[in-house]
Amino acid sequence: MGAKTSPKWISAILRWPLLWHAARLALVSAYILGGFTKLLDLAGAAAEQEHFGLYPGLLWAVAAIVVELGGSLLVVVNRWVWLGAGGLGVLTFVAMLTANAFWTMGGHERFMATNAFFEHLGLIAGLVIVTILSEEAASRPQPAPGSQAIQGVSR
């Protein structure tokens, strides 16, 4: 992607074998939690969807659960990342427009919704970045056995 500019100790940390896996898991952790929370309280999840104007609430709740858990799984296992991250990104975009419509609010509520809106935008950017990195890693030649490589990211 560009010239190596990190200090050696940072580069060493970035090469830790489990960091790539942990970062992908951390990126989707809110979706995993949200998916299981909705799954364990389907009626509450449907009510939440309807609160934000998404009808029928049960259909939207089930779709959210499938995308949150299925998309997260694809990102974590580093398979079809484009599909998993893409689904999570679209879900997040819909949530931004419905739950964080700061342009319709005033006062402190507007302040909180504006922050949440742009935090979600940053999360979408993170999903795009993990997809780019996975695509780049998949297009590189596979390293020889015994060489230094991390699954999904060759160094």
Main-chain dihedrals φ then ψ at residue 32, nearest 5 degrees: -65, -50
In whole angstroms, give the CA distance from residue 39 to residue 32.
11
Q: Is 12 exposed, middle or buried (0-12, 13-18, 19+ CB in 10 A)?
A: exposed
CA dihedral 26, 41, 119, 137 (to 10 degrees): 40
In whole angstroms, give the CA distance from residue 77 to residue 81.
8
What pLDDT is attached to residue 142? Answer: 73
Question: Whole-model pTM above 0.95?
Answer: no
State pLDDT tens for residues 46-84.
999 999 999 999 999 999 999 999 999 999 999 999 999
Q: What angle do CA 115, 78, 96 make, to 5 degrees?
A: 20
**pLDDT tens series, the chain, 155 aa:** 556 788 999 999 998 989 999 999 999 999 999 999 999 999 999 999 999 999 999 999 999 999 999 999 999 999 999 999 999 999 999 999 999 999 999 999 999 999 999 999 999 999 999 999 999 988 888 766 655 555 555 44
- For residue 149, what is the enclosing H or E element? strand 149-150
